[in-house]
Structure 1
Amino acid sequence: MKVLVISVHPDDETLGCGGTILKHTKNGDEVYWLIITKVDYTVGFSEKFMNDRKEQIEKVAKNYNFKATFNLGFLTTKLHTVDFNNLMESISSVVNKVKPEIVYMNNRSDIHTDHQIAAKAIMSATKSFRYPFIKRILMYECISETEVAPALPENIFMPNVFSDITNFLDKKIKIMSIYESEVQQPPLPRSLENMEALARYRGASCGVDYAEAFMLLRERF
């Protein structure tokens, strides 16, 4: 089975579905990673940070044993300035190259504007009549982005699919630790402790110790 995991920013994949990725690779599935944005000095990042981020991406990819990693190279925090067709076609080219049966993507109502714009482009780049090989599309939650969206009905993350990651939580947290600059200290949301707490809460929703939660967008049997 071919699986495509889409991250608007590196670390989204680990926060949202790191345990599920590890489960896929253990089951022998081919898992591919698509990163939409990059850091750059033009948006305020130092050369050291950029080099560190490159090394982090390589380490994370190795830990997940991704079959291949694609990076579209759009500037982080600047997706609102990108031509939408260009963004959509860039995503579509990777989708057509991989031909995944399962796609994991960012939640469409996260507080981060990059996530919102990318989600629209991803949904356009995975239409059923143009990409018939896709059987399942799932949106994942990113702690610090999903739960802090304005409390409006259209922004609610309503999970209806749960993945048991009890056997993979420790490694998920270890991988998240690679992103040193992204890990926060309690009580801030993106702490390792809060990642475990969310997994425990999602696990309680489906009767396991730890789980990741998703919103199913489309499924074809």
Structure 2
Amino acid sequence: MKNKVLIVAVHPDDETLGCGGTLLKHKANGDEVHWLICTIIDKAHGYYKTRKKEIEKVSTLYGFDSVHNLRLKTMQIDEYSMSELIGKISKVINEVQPNIIYLPFKGDVHSDHRKIFEAAYSCTKSFRYPFIKKIYMIETLSETEFAPSTKEDSFIPNIFVDISEYMHKKLEIMRVFDSEIAPHPFPRSERNLKALATLRGATCGCEYAESFVLLKEIN
């Protein structure tokens, strides 16, 4: 049975940082993969047209089956009511009807990530969304590692995916987001992306891996 996957990316590039290799692996296995982008920069911003082209190119490189954009104001998610966010996300989830969903980590330091997690997780109740069978939280460099170092907010992965065959293409896709990467020690450098994948790979016995927190699995 093929899966239908939905990745909830608060900002374009979160999907690649957090689970790019895993998404490529899903596609290689014949699964449907759908991309939900939550935010967009203002049209008045000089980078608007460039970002639009980046999104189009990234979508092609992954071969996403559909792309959705809520067009929320980036870095201003706290201006929206929770009911409005839930309504917008729920509409996409009901349209796609994924059995696997990837969400941002609930403890990410960026408030946009935390708000979107809260709204999206509200859209996974089994009696309203019975098609959702697996819910994961992703690890996003520059956000997840800066969460408070408390038991409640620490990212403690319990699922590991071997992405050794897909690491090169993950880096290729990340390069499309030219303004989002910079040399080490910037968190989103290629060196750090490989370092994190190497660490996660060492945990599960492969060259490169991505890690996740499994929130729910229904068999």
Q: What one-letter code is carried by the residue in structure 2 that aligns with 1:7?
A: A
Q: Which residue of 2 aligns with 1:39?
A: 41
Q: Which residue of 1 aligns with 2:216?
A: 218
Q: Secondary structure at the match of 2:7?
A: strand
Q: Secondary structure at the match of 2:187?
A: coil
Q: 1:30 aligns with which of 29, 32, 35?
A: 32
| Cα distance in 2, alignment partners of residues 130 and 193 from structure 1 | 42
In structure 2, runs of 5+ residues without a counterpart are none
**For 1:66-88, what per-residue CA distance to the aligned partner results, in whole angstroms no more than 9, with x for missing partners?**
00100000000011010110101
Q: Identity across aligned pairs (percent)?
A: 49
| Cα distance in 2, alignment partners of residues 61 and 144 from structure 1 | 22
**For 1:17-38, what per-residue CA distance to the aligned partner results, in whole angstroms no more than 9, with x for missing partners?**
0000000001111110000111
Report matched runs for 1:1-221 at 5 Å: 1-41=3-43, 46-47=45-46, 49-221=47-219
Q: Secondary structure at the match of 1:129?
A: coil
Q: Secondary structure at the match of 1:147?
A: helix
| Cα distance in 1, alignment partners of residues 98 and 174 from structure 2 | 25
TM-score, normalization by structure 2:
0.97
TM-score, normalization by structure 1:
0.97
Task: Detail structure 1 runs of 4+ shifted over 3 Å in the superposition.
Answer: none
| Cα distance in 2, alignment partners of residues 127 and 172 from structure 1 | 32
Shift of 1:170: 0.3
RMSD: 0.8
Q: What one-letter code is carried by the residue in structure 2 that aligns with 1:218?
A: K
In structure 1, runs of 5+ residues without a counterpart are none
| Cα distance in 2, alignment partners of residues 18 and 174 from structure 1 | 10
| Cα distance in 1, alignment partners of residues 187 and 69 from structure 2 | 27
**For 1:174-215, what per-residue CA distance to the aligned partner results, in whole angstroms no more than 9, with x for missing partners?**
000000000021011110110000000000011111000000
The number of equivalent residue pairs is 217
| Cα distance in 1, alignment partners of residues 188 and 211 from structure 2 | 17
| Cα distance in 2, alignment partners of residues 22 and 63 from structure 1 | 9
Shift of 1:151: 1.3
Q: Secondary structure at the match of 1:56?
A: helix
Q: What one-letter code is carried by the residue in structure 2 that aligns with 1:53?
A: R
Shift of 1:128: 1.4
Shift of 1:124: 0.3
Q: Secondary structure at the match of 2:124?
A: coil
| Cα distance in 2, alignment partners of residues 120 and 195 from structure 1 | 26
Shift of 1:46: 2.2
